[in-house]
Structure formats: C-alpha cells, structure tokens
Amino acid sequence: MDKTKLFTKIKLRELVLKNRVVVSPMCQYMAVDGHVQDWHLAHHSRFALGGVGLAFVEATGVTRNGRITHGCTGIWNDQHISGLRKIVDLYKSQNVAVGIQIGHAGRRASAARPWDGAQPIENGELDEAPWECFAPSAIPEQHGHPTPRCMTTSDIQETIDAFALATQRALDAGFDTIEIHGAHGYLIHSFFSPISNQRKDAYGGDLYKRMQFPLRVTEAVREIWPKEMPLFYRVSAVDGVPGGISIEDTAELAKELKSRGVDVIDCSSGGMTKPATLSKEKLARGYQVPYADYIRSAVGIKTMAVGLIIEPQEAEDILQNEQADLVAIAREMISNPNWTYHAALELDTDNPHDVLPDSYAFHLARRDHNLIAKSRSGN
C-alpha cells in the first residue's frame, strides 16, 4: 500500500484529485485580446502529460481592463470560452482536474510583460496602448506610477457582476474548479489591505469593511458555481510591509470565506507595493508554508502551500506534517513538467510509472526492468 500523502487522493466536494500535486497558476502573457493561443495548449500539454492531480490556468481577466498586460488571458466575453475549453479538454483527456484562476488586476493593470520590464505602459511604448486603471482608492502602487481612479459604487457592482459572468463562462468551458485571485496586490487584495484601501464607505475602514468586496465577489461566484464543485481562493497571507495585513487578519478573512463556501485557501503572500513573483529578494525554500499551516489550524479549512517547494520530499513533509492539504508548484514545474513522475520515483511509490500516460509508462517501465541494476544512475 502506498504510504505517501502526495499520492493519496483527495476529495474536494465531489471532485476527486488523483494526487495532491497542483500546477500553480502562471501567466504566459501570450494571449491575443484575451484569447488562448497554440502556445497555451503546448504549455498545458506538458503538465497534462506529467501526471499532476490538478492544474490551474493562469490569472484570467474578468474584464478587458482587469487584465494585467495585453498578453493576459480573458474571460470577459463568450468568445473566450472555446479557447479555454481546448485547455480543459486537454487535461480531461489525461484524467487531470483543471481549474481557472479568475481575477482583476485593479491598479496593477496596464503593465508591460515581465520581459519588457513589468512597469505601467507609457503612451506609445511597445506599440501597445495603456488603459485607465481603477482601485479602491486613488493611491498609486509606487511613487511615479499612474494614479488609479477611485472606484464608484457602480464600478464595484459592475466588477462583482463581471466575476459572476466569468464564473458562468468557466462552467460552460468545463472547468472543475475556480480559484478567485485575492492576492498579489491586484484588485481584490487591494480592497483588503489598508495600504491600498482608504475608503470611508461600506467597502473601506476596519477589517470587516475591507473584507466586503472580497466577500461580495466570493458570494457572487459561489452563487453560480455548482454546490458539488470546489472553490479555491488565493490570499496574500501577509503584505510583508509596515501597516499591511497580518496573518491574523487573513485568518479572519478565511473564516468568512469558509462560511461562504470557499473550500481551499491557497496561501501566497506579498505584492502590495511591488510584484510578488518578480521580486529579487532572497527567500528560503517553502517560505510561505507557515501561512498555510497557520490558516489551516486557526480556521479549520483546507489549505494549499506554494512558493519555492522544489524537492518531492519537501512537498511530502508539508503534507505529512499537516501544514497543508495540497502543494502547488510553479517554476519547478516549468523546469520539469514530469515533476510528479520523478516525485513518485523518489518517494518510492508502488507503481511510479503509472503516473504517466500508458504510451510513456510502458517504455520507461520496460527500460527499468531491463536495467541490470535498479538504480536510475545505473550504479
């Protein structure tokens, strides 16, 4: 019997994942007017064939203005559904569950792609026009960045409605789950953090007022998303800057999210004053795992750990120590899309080749059988 936790199934509502390895959402910046391109199919095929339990499609804009860059995928239009469905079909053909992260970039919209500097687009630069950003308050992310327009209550309502419409489209495309992007300084997170939200109305002020927009979005998504299907929510568990949100604040939010039908809190961090994933800061392996651990025990909700989880044994230890229920991997998955297969080998599971499709598994199993010595290095 297989003793690993990484390869133990998990049931989230009626969705059963064959293992606990999750591909974290990763923007590709390769879409055209929000539409999926061949690149996305090639990119996702790598993970679909590698045997993960669940994969997320990148942060996908619920409105055109809610994209981070001109290259981000969108779900603001019914025309986007067919491209997204191709990604879904690809994963389903390999018995891999697939989700989509939906979001709105808020004051961090209208940016250049990472390899073009990730800064706000200036007029005429790169032949791509900037667009107006909005946010809970008219506070730029950094000194020198454009000042976003302060959202009116009708902007707020329209954006909540856009999340609901996006949810219906995700359902029509065939996704198994949705993740609400509530992290990394984008719109939802920017309502929650006092650094970016200084409103005096029902959507700003104390912790509970700052939660209102995230909660209204979640309620709108949950109302459309079927009861038997799970819902993820990505938090920036801490802002990591003075005056920002703390892990205790996030635990309060997670309690409210849980009562509104969120099943898994995906625990990231940062992004309030600079892009979280483009940081040059030195970080330790598994640096965000303590957040997943804290939220899991303080709130009694399933969590997903993410961030510099590289070795299979590290992932297994997180699950064995009950610090999280799922492990999300981004960059290491780009480096090695067969990570799950290598994890199965390294953790000495019963039938590691079974992680892969038959047409790969058969030949690797036969090769290993043919080898005189069992060690992969041939020693």
- Of 139, 165, 207, 308, the one binding ligand FMN by CB under 6 A: 308
Q: Which is nearer to ligand FMN, 27 or 48 (CB)?
A: 27
Minimal distance, residue 332 CB to ligand FMN, in Å: 6
Q: Which two tokens stand for residue 125?
A: 């630069």
Residues 6+ apart with CB under 8 A from 206: none
Q: Which is nearer to ligand FMN, 34 or 204 (CB)?
A: 34
At residue 22, φ and ψ (nearest 5 deg) are -125, 135
Site size toward ligand FMN (CB under 6 A) is 21
Q: Which is nearer to ligand FMN, 202 or 283 (CB)?
A: 283
The DSSP code for 35 is: B
Q: Segment contacting ligand FMN (CB under 6 A): 25-33, 118-126, 208-216, 291-299?
A: 25-33
Of residues 329-348, those binding ligand FMN (CB under 6 A): 329-332
Is 186 in the active site?
Answer: yes
Of 17, 46, 81, the closest CA to residue 335 belongs to 46
Of residues 208-237, those binding ligand FMN (CB under 6 A): 234
Q: Segment contacting ligand FMN (CB under 6 A): 4-12, 20-28, 121-129, 345-353?
A: 20-28
Q: Which is nearer to ligand FMN, 295 or 353 (CB)?
A: 295
Question: How many CB atoms lie under 10 A from the CB of residue 64?
Answer: 15
Of residues 30-69, those binding ligand FMN (CB under 6 A): 58-59
The DSSP code for 355 is: G
With the CA atoms of 258, 53, 16 and 358 taken in that order, what torsion angle do they form, in degrees rounded to the nearest 10? 170
Q: What is the CA radius of gyration of the chain?
A: 21
SS3 162: helix
Distance of alpha carbon 346 from its chain centroid, rounded?
A: 26
Helix, strand, coil shares of the chain, percent, nearest 5, are: 40, 15, 45
Q: Which is nearer to ligand FMN, 24 or 196 (CB)?
A: 24
Q: Identify the bridge partners of residue 233 per DSSP, sorted by sequence position.
A: 180, 265
- Of 181, 189, 216, 296, the one binding ligand FMN by CB under 6 A: 181
Burial category of 106 from C-beta neighbours within 10 Å (exposed 0-12, middle 13-18, buried 19 and up): buried
- Of 10, 17, 22, 27, the one binding ligand FMN by CB under 6 A: 27
Determine, following the binding rule CB under 6 A, whether residue 24 of this chain makes contact with ligand FMN. yes
Contact criterion met (CB below 8 Å) for 105 and 132 = no
- Which one of the listed residues 29, 186, 233, 291 is annotated catalytic? 186
Minimal distance, residue 290 CB to ligand FMN, in Å: 15
What are the catalytic residues?
A: 186
Residues that bind ligand FMN (CB under 6 A): 24-27, 58-59, 101, 181, 183-184, 234, 268, 277, 306-309, 329-332
